[in-house]
A and B are shown apart, each in its own frame.
Chain A
Amino acid sequence: MLTVDNMRIALGDFSLAGDFTITPGARVAVLGPSGAGKSTLLAAIAGFQPLDAGQIHWDAKPMPKDPAARPISMVFQDNNLFPHLTVAQNVGLGLRPNLRLSTDDHTRVAQALTHVGLEGMGDRKPAQLSGGQIARVALARVLLRDRPVLLLDEPFGALGPALKAEMLELVHTLLDETGATLLMVSHDPEDARVLCDQVVLVADGAAHAPVATDEMFANPPEVMREYLGASGEGQL
């Protein structure tokens, strides 16, 4: 269980508060207006953003300070791959941060690549890949990291609609297999409907407790209605 316990973050004019729990295996969309602090929430959970007050727990234990020691895999908006390393090396980092890979490790890397549909592409450099393939490599690494929480910070924002649907489908499959808990920042409410059973709304300086996705869209609170706008309302 992921617990955000009386968290408070202040960065100049900006502030973000949160106090909620996420049940294991939940698939949570983090929605809200831009600049509200969706990415800051994820950075705090991942250990990149120090808290001014409060704590974040995993299974009732405080999270370690070191981001790498947290039970978390994270995929960022961009720069998810090191351009000077091959695809296989980028994935291999998920097993050994020093890249001293055993024969067994190499096999697992190859399997992970096959799993995300990139069989035989291990020797390529990221520059030779398409945007969708890059996202797949990042997900292959997530697979090998094998952490109970997956944080996605708008990783598919730059992909076209068809590719994005494909990637959401892949995430869906991976989550089914691993049973990991997902928190995904998105600016597209549709993503939430496709993939997530819960929504955390980040607005007005607070990350609100998760609400079931159906309920959120059936009966959106005022801020959510504003965020969705006229077109969103039309869909409701």
Chain B
Amino acid sequence: MARRRVQINRTILGAVALGVVVCLTLGTLIAVAMRAEGAGRLGPADWAAIRFTLWQAAASATLSILLAIPVARALARRSFPGRSVLITLLGAPFILPVIVAILGLIAVFGRTGLISQALGVFGIEPISVYGYHGVILAHVFFNLPLATRLILQGWLAIPSERFRLAASLGMGPSDIARTLERPMLREVVPGAFLVIFLICLTSFAVALALGGGPKATTVELAIYEAFRFDFDLGRAALLALVQFTLGATAALLALRVAIPGDMGTGLDRAVTRWDDTRLLRVQDVTAILLASLFLILPLTMVVLDGLPRLLTLPAEVFSAAARSVMVALLSAAVTLMLSLPIAAFAVRSTSRLVEGIGYLTIAASPLVIGTGLFIIVFPFVKPSDLALPITAVVNAAMSLPFTLRALVPALTAIERDYGKLADGLGMTGMARLRHLWLPRLRRPMGFALGLAAALSMGDLGVIAMFADGSNATLPLQLYRLMTAYRMEDAAAAALLLLALSLALFWVFDKGGRVDADR
């Protein structure tokens, strides 16, 4: 009896959590669809936005992967001091607030940035970072590291015996590329491409800050503009439908391709190779140096530009920071309340459907969810009153795929190793949660909470739709400083945001590790 009660509890809690996710994604979509105007109302500007969205996503993904291949190859076959730091750094953009990176990119590639100044010495016109190339540059900045990690995993997955065999057969670099490396790339690259394509498809903050205008407006930005500037809910809803269709199509495609996982395990060893030449060495050193510069320089600029004004920031920045921390903590809590029951349900049920629904938010866009929620709450309350809780919940939903990826395998392992023992002892319900799951899930839970908090801390999406003058989060406040050309304050706010995001991640992740019994 006790066991049945627990199963029902677990099923009910899991079903409720899944229900929340389905309501947030598909439920808001229904609200959007009911409000949307006929497809005939898609004007030329909207079609331009659709074309640009697809084109920039394809270009960003292609470029990220083309650049990542030499970097991954170099990292795969070289061991040097700082290699593991660099690989850790490649994981950092994931929790880096988009708006902070954009500020750093402007400091390097903008009109008054480092490169323009250097060009000025030779009397060359400064370059601009605004427009389609800025959007792609920022997307490559974020996704080159991801692509590198995914491809590096492919490289390190080639058994070292094969490289030994190749060496004993006297194969040179080009033979090895043909027989070992290109087949691996053919397997890894399509999945990596689709992941990055999907990310760029739903990226909003980059387009908001660097894009715009007829040539560089994405569908997400168009939703925001229809919403914010024209207050044309019908058109926003129509565009939201378009965005969802794009995302769902790409996600369905992605399901057919093996998506490489990126849990960052086992990247800390280099492959020993016997086909080294001077040319290869120069190639690898160049690739690693350029990639490191490209990643480190913008962040260094954020720190250098931000430091002087950090303590004299206007009060509204600090109050925005406080709001952001609150939203991030709330979002982390909601993430846990959603992902733990879903993970428990997924482990018990044999069907992959449960997990699949958890991943639904990959295809959903926060702006689409936001539009739907706005349509739903608008008749009843002032949407800006709910800006912060809604942001926290939507952020939590967006973190779900990542937290599930950490929690489901961990919980599966716990149940595999200790499930029978706990069953035999009658540890059910709260006893199982308190004395088995929570203590053994500390590490993945700390990681998941840190991830959720950091992602929420840096998010500039739904909040931009809902907030009014008084309840901005730090990323939104930072964006407002940028658009008001208060670049020094913006740089300091960016440094604050960066520090807070990393600190939130660190605190939770560390909390999960401290005195965790293996």
User: Are A68 and B424 neighbours in the complex by a CB distance under 8 Å?
Assistant: yes
Contact residues in A for B337 (Cβ distance below 8 Å) = none
User: Are B518 and A97 neighbours in the complex by a CB distance under 8 Å?
Assistant: no
B517 close to chain A: CB less than 8 A: yes
Residue in A48, A80, A83, A97 whose CB lies within 8 Å of B427: A97
B282 close to chain A: CB less than 8 A: no
User: Are A48 and B518 neighbours in the complex by a CB distance under 8 Å?
Assistant: no
User: Are B421 and A68 neighbours in the complex by a CB distance under 8 Å?
Assistant: no
Which residue of chain A has the shortest Cβ distance to B417 in the bound complex? A79
Q: Report Cα–Cα, A43/B423, bound state, in Å.
A: 12
Q: Report Cα–Cα, A176/B62, bound state, in Å.
A: 74
User: Are A97 and B426 neighbours in the complex by a CB distance under 8 Å?
Assistant: yes
A98 close to chain B: CB less than 8 A: yes
A68-B425, A79-B421 as given contacts; A97 in contact with B517, CB under 8 Å: no
Encoded as 1 (CB less than 8 Å from any A CB) or 0, chain B from 1 to 30 comes to 111100000000000000000000000000
Contact residues in A for B430 (Cβ distance below 8 Å) = 98
With both chains docked as a complex, state the minimum distance between the C-beta of A96 and any C-beta of chain B, in angstroms: 8
A68-B3, A69-B2, A125-B517 as given contacts; A74 in contact with B424, CB under 8 Å: yes
B431 close to chain A: CB less than 8 A: yes
Q: Report Cα–Cα, A83/B3, bound state, in Å.
A: 24
Contact residues in A for B431 (Cβ distance below 8 Å) = 97-99
- Flag the segment in B78-86, B121-129, B434-442 that touches A: B434-442
B418 close to chain A: CB less than 8 A: yes
B420 close to chain A: CB less than 8 A: yes
Q: Report Cα–Cα, A82/B425, bound state, in Å.
A: 12
User: Are A76 and B421 neighbours in the complex by a CB distance under 8 Å?
Assistant: yes
User: Are B2 and A83 neighbours in the complex by a CB distance under 8 Å?
Assistant: no
Contact residues in B for A76 (Cβ distance below 8 Å) = 420-421
Contact residues in A for B1 (Cβ distance below 8 Å) = 66, 69
Q: Report Cα–Cα, A80/B517, bound state, in Å.
A: 15
> Quick one: which of A55-105 are within 8 Å of B by CB?
65-69, 72-74, 76, 79-80, 82-85, 89, 93-94, 97-99
Contact residues in A for B417 (Cβ distance below 8 Å) = 79
User: Are A83 and B426 neighbours in the complex by a CB distance under 8 Å?
Assistant: no
User: Are A93 and B425 neighbours in the complex by a CB distance under 8 Å?
Assistant: yes
User: Are B427 and A84 neighbours in the complex by a CB distance under 8 Å?
Assistant: no
Contact residues in A for B412 (Cβ distance below 8 Å) = none
Total count of chain A residues near the partner, CB < 8 A: 28
User: Are A67 and B420 neighbours in the complex by a CB distance under 8 Å?
Assistant: yes
A68-B424, A127-B518 as given contacts; A82 in contact with B2, CB under 8 Å: no
User: Are B518 and A85 neighbours in the complex by a CB distance under 8 Å?
Assistant: no
User: Are B436 and A66 neighbours in the complex by a CB distance under 8 Å?
Assistant: no
User: Are A84 and B3 neighbours in the complex by a CB distance under 8 Å?
Assistant: no
Which residue of chain A has the shortest Cβ distance to B431 in the bound complex? A98
A112 close to chain B: CB less than 8 A: no
Which residue of chain A has the shortest Cβ distance to B428 in the bound complex? A97
A46 close to chain B: CB less than 8 A: yes
Q: Report Cα–Cα, A102/B517, bound state, in Å.
A: 26
User: Are A84 and B426 neighbours in the complex by a CB distance under 8 Å?
Assistant: no
With both chains docked as a complex, state the minimum distance between the C-beta of B308 and any C-beta of chain A, in angstroms: 47
Q: Report Cα–Cα, A82/B417, bound state, in Å.
A: 10
Residue in A67, A68, A73, A79 whose CB lies within 8 Å of B418: A79
Contact residues in A for B434 (Cβ distance below 8 Å) = 98-99
A76-B421, A79-B418, A79-B421 as given contacts; A69 in contact with B426, CB under 8 Å: yes
User: Are B435 and A99 neighbours in the complex by a CB distance under 8 Å?
Assistant: yes
Contact residues in B for A98 (Cβ distance below 8 Å) = 427, 430-431, 434-435
- Best-surrounded residue of B2, B417, B420, B431 (most CB of chain A within 10 A): B420
Contact residues in A for B440 (Cβ distance below 8 Å) = 82, 84
Which residue of chain B has the shortest Cβ distance to A74 in the bound complex? B424
With both chains docked as a complex, state the minimum distance between the C-beta of A31 and any C-beta of chain B, in angstroms: 22
Contact residues in A for B423 (Cβ distance below 8 Å) = 47-48, 66-68
Q: Report Cα–Cα, A79/B416, bound state, in Å.
A: 10
Contact residues in B for A145 (Cβ distance below 8 Å) = 425
Encoded as 1 (CB less than 8 Å from any A CB) or 0, chain B from 63 to 86 comes to 000000000000000000000000
Q: Report Cα–Cα, A55/B181, bound state, in Å.
A: 56
Contact residues in B for A127 (Cβ distance below 8 Å) = 517-518
User: Are B425 and A83 neighbours in the complex by a CB distance under 8 Å?
Assistant: no
Contact residues in A for B4 (Cβ distance below 8 Å) = 65-66
Chain B interface (Cβ < 8 Å from any Cβ of A) = 1-4, 417-418, 420-421, 423-428, 430-431, 434-436, 439-440, 516-518
**Across chains A and B, which 4 residue pairs bring their CB atoms closest together, nearest first?**
A68-B426, A98-B431, A84-B439, A66-B3
Q: A93-B427, A97-B431 are in contact. List 14 more A-B contacts (CB 8 A).
A: A65-B3, A65-B4, A66-B4, A66-B423, A66-B426, A68-B425, A68-B428, A72-B424, A76-B420, A79-B421, A82-B418, A82-B435, A97-B427, A99-B431
